[in-house]
Amino acid sequence: MRTDSDDTDGPGPGSRGAGGHGQKPHGQAQAGAPAGAWAQAHDLRHHGDAEVRDDGSALVDLAVNVRAGTPPAWLRDHIAGSLSGLAAYPDGRAARAAVAARHGLPVERVLLTAGAAEAFVLLARALKVRHPVVVHPQFTEPEAALRDAGHTVERVLLRPEEGFRLDPSAVPEDADLVVIGNPTNPTSVLHPAGLIAELARPGRTLVVDEAFMDAVPDERESLAGRTDVPGLVVLRSLTKTWGLAGLRIGYVLAAPETVTELERGQPLWPVSTPALAAAEACMTPQALVEQAQAARRVVMDRAHLIAGLREFASDGVRVAEPAEGPFVLVGLPGAAAVRDRLRRLGFAVRRGDTFPGLDETWLRLAVRDRSTVNRFLQALDQALSLTGA
């Protein structure tokens, strides 16, 4: 594990690593390059949907981590039924109460947001922090939001040779904001809840992005219902499992005073009536049963995908394991050429080099059903042969 800051030009706090000080940040373009150049080397605003826009719209999508075939018909109908109330201003009380009940929390600990991405912006703008740290590789919007708000961000980079596992001791003790994903996008690592809780400190805000936790059976290792971890902020999204990326609905679970501070940064009526209807519906017992079934299917489909990928080990394909999310991270030489060839063969996959801590030899693949995976594996075989990867 290593750290990297965007405001250092040489050895020092910004280049601190688990093995000591003054190490060159992994992935730096050239020896002696300023850490600022390293920090800016990744396109933090690039996301999987870019792979399937415009000329990619007809491709089979393994780039976006939204569950295929969603939203389900019953949820679409429920959302459509809310349209008769569009003349009234949104009232989020019922949805907020439903989220609170689902996690066994008082409503004062819940804030509804226009997707988890809004929560990152609120945190970056509302909290008065001096030393924010983001644990990478992970979803890049938290760092982008912090930078946009004028913060200098330090990175803790998890090593592939260590399975991208968290070492809490590598996080600087004086960090007053720490952001980590669980399970982490794009590595698919599920960190133990107890290990993440070790990052908590008095005076520190610990942000845990659990956008994919509902795709983990029994949501094991979740911190969503915990009130005993100081400074804990848990972010959730309904986008992935329920296919609601276009509706923008997520929520924050945190101490009441943190919720109040974040709420001050929101505009009036930040969540639309259809999004509120969706949130309330996705908290019902029936919806939670469907969510649990979907999570178990992800486990089986992911195992099928990984087994197929292992067949290409002799071609240099390696899977980051154990994978616990609805996606897998794959490394291979010539990944950029393979990705381009896959597009010509009809498949979109997510490039990995926009994630700090990764380079152009990594790809992220969304888990899909067995039939789709089998067709993808055939295309991958052709792509590897044609590129000589």
Q: What is the reported pLDDT for 55?
A: 79
Phi, psi of 329 (to 5 degrees): -100, 130
Proportion of the chain in helix, strand, coil states, percent, rounded to 5 = 40, 15, 45
Please give the sequence-ordered ranges of beta strands (E in DSSP) within 17-153, or none if there are none: 60-62, 110-113, 132-136
Low-confidence ranges of the chain (pLDDT < 50): 5-39
Distances (CA, A) of 119 to 64, 149, 234: 20, 13, 10
Classified as helix, coil or strand, 355 is coil
pTM: 0.89
Are 8 and 15 in contact by the 8 Å Cβ rule? The answer is yes
Classified as helix, coil or strand, 154 is strand
Q: What is the reported pLDDT for 279?
A: 98
Determine how many CB atoms are found less than 10 A away from the CB of residue 338. Answer: 22
- Beta partners for residue 240, in sequence order: none
> How far is the C-alpha of 33 from the C-alpha of 230, rounded, in Å?
38
Distances (CA, A) of 61 to 266, 272, 347, 350, 368: 33, 28, 6, 9, 9
Q: What is the reported pLDDT for 1?
A: 59
Q: What is the reported pLDDT for 389?
A: 56
- Beta partners for residue 328, in sequence order: 365
Whether the CA torsion 190, 194, 195, 197 is positive or negative: it is: positive
DSSP annotation string for 173-188? TT-SEEEEESSPTTT-
Burial category of 86 from C-beta neighbours within 10 Å (exposed 0-12, middle 13-18, buried 19 and up) = exposed
> How far is the C-alpha of 259 from the C-alpha of 291, rounded, in Å?
26
- Helix (H) or strand (E) holding 374, with range, is helix 370-387
Q: What is the reported pLDDT for 44?
A: 76
